[in-house]
Amino acid sequence: MSAPETLQDWPHLFVPGEDDAPVLLTLHGTGSNEQEISALAPELDPRAGVLAPRGLVREHGMPRWFRRMGEGVFDVDDVVLRAGELAGFVTAAREHYGLGDRPLVAVGFSNGANIALATAMLHPDVVDRVVAFSGMYPFADRDEAADKDLHGVRVTTLNGRADPMAPLGSVTRLVEVLRDRGADVEQHLREGGHGISPQDLAAGREAVSRLA
């Protein structure tokens, strides 16, 4: 599915939050939706606004953000395309909802973390703050951000060391590429696998407070 022509045609929810609080761009994982991921926002900042779009790609009927050929095998061309679409959505939403200069922090889980990272790396003028739960390097063996200056981009990654869906090697490459391009990266690693642990949640709260 291609990007809707108007903001109103893109399934999403918006909660304004407090005027002096950040807006959390919450991005769901495969098979989830904007309603489920938005429930994470009050755990990170109860005063924040929430902007939660739904991924437009379908995999066996399940929403996600970009195509893949198998577990961990991404269609990189589609990643690039969908990151551009998400950047367009955010730009339109800022204007439509009158967000002005309010800080926007992309908070994604799994597939949502990957599209948040891809968008920040390709469109840092639109998304420059990311909290990525169980994310990984989104461009496979390619360096799509080679010509990007990511100074000013701030990213917090939160991963399990034994996560088969976001392997540590891919996470390490992500952090290295971001830092090489000038991004400020805070990395958190814990024991265990895929998911959001209480430890991750606590670190995520601190990250949102710091990034906002």
For the chain, what is the mean pLDDT?
96
Give the per-residue pLDDT at 69.
84
How many whole angstroms separate alpha carbon 210 and alpha carbon 9? Answer: 33
Between the alpha carbon of residue 139 and those of residues 92, 156, 164, 179, 195, the distances in Å are 25, 18, 17, 16, 21
CATH assignment of the domain containing 197 = 3.40.50.1820
Report the domain count for the chain: 1
What is the DSSP-derived secondary structure letter of residue 134? S
How many whole angstroms separate alpha carbon 205 and alpha carbon 110? Answer: 18
In a domain, 163, yes or no: yes
In a domain, 150, yes or no: yes
Total-model pTM: 0.96
In a domain, 2, yes or no: no
Catalytic residue annotation: 110, 163, 194
In a domain, 1, yes or no: no
pLDDT digits (tens, 9 = 90+) for 1-50: 667 878 988 999 999 999 999 999 999 999 999 999 999 999 999 999 99
In a domain, 126, yes or no: yes
DSSP state letters, 6-68: SGGGS-EEEE---TTS-EEEEE--TT--HHHHHTTHHHH-TT-EEEEEPP-EEETTEEESS-E
Between the alpha carbon of residue 53 and those of residues 27, 34, 137, 158, the distances in Å are 7, 6, 22, 22
